[in-house]
Amino acid sequence: MLKKVLLASAIVVGLGAIFVGRSSVSYIKTGYHSLRDTIKDQIPLDVEICRAREMISDLKPEIAGNLKVIAREEVEVARLQREVQSKNATLAKSKQAILKLKDDVQSGAKFVSYGGKSFDMEQVKKDLSSRFRSYQIQEATAEKVGKILSAREKNLEGARRKLDEMLAAKRQLEVEVENLQARLTMVEVAKTSNKFSVNDSRVSTVRQTVADIGTRIDVEERMVDTCDTTVGIPVSDEDTPSDLVDQISLYFNRNSIEVKSLVENL
């Protein structure tokens, strides 16, 4: 099956090259990028976060390697510093001796004494000339070593700065990944809450149904109470006192005929 797919792809590419020409290359590139982006979008976010963590963890060997290089360079720089200090100290002593011999030559004396030994002026001049040439060579060498030291110190400082930047970037990336993890967790919680809200809506529907049933029962109960209640006051002949007219007349201070008419019309 795979061979058939590869063969079909080769045929499509060949036909594209024939009919479309150079433009087919752009189509192939576009299709490749589109397919790559589609596949990337299908990867779960938690997998991508784990991958980012692993990539950050993979920076540790590189950082350790840089630390080793810096440590080795620090040792070399320290050695050069000691060498420069030694050469400068030697030059200072040589300069002091040369100046002393120069003063003796300029004194005009025929013999001078050094360390309990006597030397004539020709010997002093030869020694002074030799010392001066040696001093010049040593001074040039010390100058070159000093320049080398300055360059290596500058490189060491740059390497330290880059390492600090790399460590800071690693820490920042770790914080950003943790922030992404927190955001993803919040999204997952929100999705779970949405699922819960669906169940809550069903409960609300049941609650409304129960409330509607209760309302209908309340209406039925009220209707029964209404049917059982008699409208008005049931008055019978036996209940009417014989002197009702007189009592009403007396109460309302009216004539008996008017009150009697009102009572009969009730």
pTM of the predicted model, to two decimals? 0.51
Note the maximum CA span of the chain.
Answer: 182
Which residues does the chain have with pLDDT short of 70?
A: 1-41, 193-203, 227-242, 244-245, 248-249, 251-266
Q: Which CATH class is domain 59-165?
A: mainly alpha
Residue 115 to residues 118, 119, 132, Cα–Cα distance (Å): 8, 10, 20
pLDDT score of 159 = 93
Distance CA(6)–CA(3), nearest Å, equals: 5
The enclosing H or E element of 224 equals helix 121-228
pLDDT score of 23 = 57
CB atoms closer than 10 angstroms to residue 124: 20
pLDDT score of 25 = 55
Amino acid identity, position 93: K
Residue 181 to residues 49, 59, 172, 177, 213, Cα–Cα distance (Å): 7, 20, 14, 6, 48
Distance CA(43)–CA(51), nearest Å, equals: 11
Q: Where in the chain is the domain with CATH 1.10.287?
A: 59-165
pLDDT in tens, 205-231: 777 888 888 888 888 878 877 766 555
DSSP 120: E
pLDDT score of 256 = 53
Distance CA(65)–CA(45), nearest Å, equals: 31
